[in-house]
């Protein structure tokens, strides 16, 4: 590895950012074949060793829906406690929460939609039905002392419905927060958002009484906008950013949802801005190079390719 960015701080930006690493769940769920359990566990261990403190481990989804995550119990059971490290899991329904609670999971997430069409395609339920399903799940999780994140997909555009009005996204987000979600992650599921759109949406949430501290952002790089959109979110006070090691992943229920923001690309930008993440970029690049070798293809991350000398997986 050669080279690190020059550090030129911007006083208008947050001093520190929490990276919500989604690679082991969102990154691997879209692989054409299942990744061995031992590789998933080793990936999570390496990510933690690189300094990431929130690593989304898996989803307790029914195996026939996402067979790549059929080993959720085995993955969670193999994870060792490490300081303040959090291993959130996705719980799509009440049964998923039961499975998570049985393993002592302390952080869960639910995955909702800002649009009716995607909700029906992803959950087989409309928005009202999905809210009715999630409300008791969130309530029970909070009663059990768990932290709950609410993912909100299709916040910037929907491949079936097209433009998604800002007020529609805010209304959906407010419903998740009213259920008891601790944090709301705004997803640009198909990567069509632009910085001005990001600013408009965050301004609308602020006007609705939702502080930036309660919001995370989840950008896809389909149109090359993920870093620009992240910077726009930081300028609005957001301090939690979702990213996937090596840029892996997307949503299996939306074919145009390609390319999560690569964690390495994000860390390079944040390091250059003097924003603390606690992440060792060299160790992270080594981890994604190691994973690429096991997946049999090079990492999509530009930073991984640049700092690993463009090495092909072996």
Two tokens at 145? 């002392």
Do 185 and 217 form a contact (C-beta atoms < 8 A)? yes
| 251 in catalytic set | yes
Name the residue among 91, 95, 123 with its Cα closest to residue 107.
91
Q: How far is residue 156's CA from residue 163's CA, in Å, rounded to a whole number?
A: 7
How many other C-beta atoms lie within 10 A of the C-beta of residue 56?
A: 24
Do 263 and 44 form a contact (C-beta atoms < 8 A)? no
What's the number of CA atoms in the CB half-sphere (13 Å) around residue 115?
A: 23
Sign of CA dihedral 193, 194, 195, 200: negative
- Which residue of the set 148, 251, 254, 304 is catalytic? 251
List, in sequence order, every residue forming a beta bridge with 186; answer none if it has no partner.
152, 217
Q: Which residues are known to be catalytic?
A: 251
């Amino acid at each position: 590895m050669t080279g690190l960015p020059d550090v030129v701080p911007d006083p208008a930006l947050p001093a520190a950012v929490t990276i919500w690493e989604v690679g082991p769940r969102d990154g691997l769920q879209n692989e054409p074949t299942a990744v061995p359990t031992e590789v998933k566990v080793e990936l999570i261990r390496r990510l933690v060793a690189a300094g990431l403190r929130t690593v989304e481990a898996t989803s307790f989804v029914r195996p026939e829906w996402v067979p790549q995550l059929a080993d959720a119990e085995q993955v969670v059971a193999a994870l060792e406690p490490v300081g303040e490290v959090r291993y959130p899991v996705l719980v799509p329904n009440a049964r998923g929460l039961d499975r998570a609670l049985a393993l002592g999971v302390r952080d869960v997430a639910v995955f909702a939609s800002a649009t009716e069409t995607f909700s029906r395609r992803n959950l087989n339920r409309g928005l009202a039905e999905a809210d009715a399903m999630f409300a008791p799940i969130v309530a029970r999780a909070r009663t059990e002392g768990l932290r709950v994140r609410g993912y909100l997909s299709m916040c910037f555009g929907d491949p079936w419905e097209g433009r998604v009005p800002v007020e529609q996204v805010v209304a959906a987000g407010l419903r998740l927060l009213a259920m008891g979600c601790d944090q709301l992650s705004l997803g640009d599921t198909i990567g069509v958002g632009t910085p001005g759109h990001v600013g408009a949406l965050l301004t609308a949430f602020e006007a609705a009484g939702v502080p930036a501290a309660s919001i995370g952002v989840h950008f896809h790089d389909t149109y090359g906008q993920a870093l620009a959109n992240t910077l726009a979110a930081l300028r609005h006070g957001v301090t939690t950013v979702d990213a996937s090691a090596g840029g892996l992943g997307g949503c299996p229920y939306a074919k145009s949802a390609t390319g999560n923001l690569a964690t390495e690309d994000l860390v390079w930008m944040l390091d250059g801005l003097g924003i603390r993440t606690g992440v060792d970029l060299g160790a992270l690049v080594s981890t994604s190079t190691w994973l690429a070798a096991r997946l049999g293809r090079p990492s999509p991350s530009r930073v991984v390719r640049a700092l690993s000398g463009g090495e092909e997986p072996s």
